[in-house]
Amino acid sequence: MAAGFQVSDELLGTFIPIAVYWIYSAIFILLGSSVDGYRLHPKGEEDAKNVVSKFTVVKGVLIQQAFQVAVSLLLFTVINDGSGTSQRPQPPSLMIALQLAAGMVVLDTWQYFIHRYMHLNKFLYKHVHSKHHTLVVPYAYGALYNHPLEGLLLDTCGGAIAFLLSGMTPRTAIFFFSFATVKTVDDHCGLWLPGNPLHLLFSNNSAYHDVHHQLYGIKYNFSQPFFIAWDKIMGTYMPYALVKRKEGGFEAQPIKNN
């Protein structure tokens, strides 16, 4: 009986990214005060500037993830033709790499324009997207603290479109969405840790996104989660410099063009 039990790739692709979210977030929590010298904001600012409690944030993220699970399972039910999509053979490695790259481009494009529109539309910003910006000082497990409608439009729909248009299999999607989750959590961690490989590989990082969460940068640096191309193409890129604070840590200061 046990040997015959098998979990489909669709189910793994739905639940593994959620587990990754909380495991990776927990790592930042466990680091505790040992990383105070690498914070983008002084520790006390989390409580002073953020207007929602951490309990509220955890509850909001869990609600969004539950909604995400429901939509993902519905999507896989619709696209499953009965032939067992989880058993689709994996394409050659080069094709998988191209599908992952295509998924990144599609997800970035979708999220840039939806995210930007939520800032431009006063109604959507006030009643939907402003919930995410109550975290002026971002932290790891607050990455997906959004209004449910934003979670549906930005993350769930964006992920579904990236999955469908890239042509990736459910097995490839497990890696893609897990990596996208790691990247999103890292971008909101509020830390500039030395040797972080994600900072070396991607210009869209924790400092870049921290600029967007500040009042001076709220109309800039919309791109997420991978690249910054759309900000540069659309003229919404705000350059910044990382400046070391006297009391410890770093600050992302905007560079004003003359």
Q: Which tens digits make up the pLDDT trace of 93-117? A: 999 999 999 999 999 999 999 999 9
| Cα–Cα nearest to 249, from 137, 107, 174 | 137
Other C-beta atoms within 10 Å of 49: how many? 14
pTM of the full predicted structure? 0.92
pLDDT score recorded for residue 11: 87
Gap between the Cα atoms of 254 and 258, Å rounded: 13
Question: In degrees rounded to 5, what are phi and psi of residue 218?
Answer: -70, -20
pLDDT higher than 50, residue 241: yes
Give yes or no for residue 19 having a pLDDT over 80.
Answer: yes
Domains of the chain by residue range: 9-29+37-80+91-192
Q: What digits encode the pLDDT tens for the residues 142-191?
A: 999 999 999 999 998 999 999 999 999 989 999 999 999 999 999 999 99
Length of the chain: 258
Tokens at 247, concatenated: 């009391």
Buried b (16+ CB within 10 A) or exposed e, 211-248: bbbbeebbebbbbbbbbbbbbeeeebbbebeeeeeeee
Q: Which residue from 197, 184, 176, 199 is spatially nearest to 250, judged by alpha carbons? A: 199
**How many whole angstroms separate alpha carbon 62 and alpha carbon 171?**
24
Chain centre to alpha carbon of residue 125: 19
pLDDT of res. 1? 44
